[in-house]
Structure 1
Amino acid sequence: MTPHPGGAPGGSVLAALTAEQHGKLMTLARDVALPAGTRIFEEGEKADRFWIIRSGTVALDIHMPGRGRAVVETIGAGSLLGWSWLCPPRQWHLAAETREPFRAWEFDAVAVHDLCAEDTALGLSLVTAVAETIGERLRATRTRLLDLYGPPGPQGSGAAP
């Protein structure tokens, strides 16, 4: 799978904010760097942070019982990594692993929740942008899993289903 370009899903998170909102959110950002091959989080673990990727790529995968891990999407610079922090039970729905050296802004979920409670307009903008990312990720996951494990299409007929 190819990573999303900077203007793709997740990249819209910061772009969805006004300059003032962007500035407020960025006061909470922490610059992080991880080497290739680092497991960032695992399915089911507590989701207490999120990242906006500055460089590198991250594979999002899901555990398939009896089959191991299946990569459902690869994301890159400008993308939001992690949305499970937003809604209870605040556990990761997927797992993530760096594919290349990774740089990102990391945000503590509690601090962002507090900021959104103080500035409800920022909160609405952020939640709307994250919801768009959730929709994109769910569609990508569904498509990838159908590609990997769905029934084969008609063979030899040449006709579209």
Structure 2
Amino acid sequence: MTSMTVSRLPRLLSAEYRGRLMTLAHEARYPSGIRLFDEGRRADHFWIIRSGAVALDMRVPGRRPVVLETLGFGDLLGWSWLFPPHTWQFGAETVGPVSAHEFDAEAVRRMCLDDPETGHAITMWVGDVVARRLQVARTRLLDLYAPYGSGSRG
């Protein structure tokens, strides 16, 4: 599965709020095959992918993790940092070398509290990503495990 272009940062955050968020970014690079986070662990960072690809996956009892979506340029990686209890709902692993803007979740949450307009904009952006990722996960799991699939293939 490919990433969804509607989840891209520039489409949902105005330049003003994007600029505020980016003041908290630092550059991060990861080689291929690095596990960035696992389901159920503490979500204390998130990323906006600059280059490369990251596979989002989900544990399925008795099976290997199922890749739900592959994220790439401009995609938000990680949303669990914004919503209590701040634990990852999916897992993520680099598919190849990745370059990203990395953010400390606590610093961004603090900025959101201190500046409610920015907080609202970021929350709406992340909420949109959450809704789309859950739909992708639902469709992927139906394709894999439902007797007749999700019906999305004709």
Q: TM-score, normalised by structure 2?
A: 0.91
Q: Does 1:141 align with 2:142?
A: no
Corresponding residue for residue 109 of structure 2 = 113
1:21 paired residue among 17, 22, 40: 17
> What aligned pairs does 1:7-156 form with structure 2 within 5 A after superposition?
7-9=5-7, 11=8, 13-152=9-148
Offset at residue 49 of structure 1 (A)? 1.0
Offset at residue 14 of structure 1 (A)? 4.2
Amino acid at match of 1:68: R
Corresponding residue for residue 3 of structure 1 = 3
Offset at residue 118 of structure 1 (A)? 1.4
Cα root mean square deviation, aligned: 1.5
Runs of 4+ in 1 over 4 A off after TM superposition: none
Q: Aligned partners of 2:128 and 2:17: how far apart in 1?
A: 18
Q: Aligned partners of 2:78 and 2:18: how far apart in 1?
A: 18
Amino acid at match of 1:98: T
1:79-126 deviation digits (Å, cap 9, x = unpaired): 000000011111000000010110100111110011111111111111
**Residue pair 2:52, 2:72 contacting (<8 A) in 1 also:** yes
Q: Aligned partners of 1:33 and 1:74: how far apart in 2?
A: 17
Q: Aligned partners of 2:19 and 2:58: how far apart in 1?
A: 34
Q: Aligned partners of 2:131 and 2:108: how far apart in 1?
A: 21
- Note the residue ranges of structure 1 that are not aligned, 5 or more in a row: 154-159
Length, aligned pairs only: 150
Q: Aligned partners of 1:75 and 1:14: how far apart in 2?
A: 15
Identity of aligned residues (%): 50
Partner SS state of residue 40, structure 2? coil
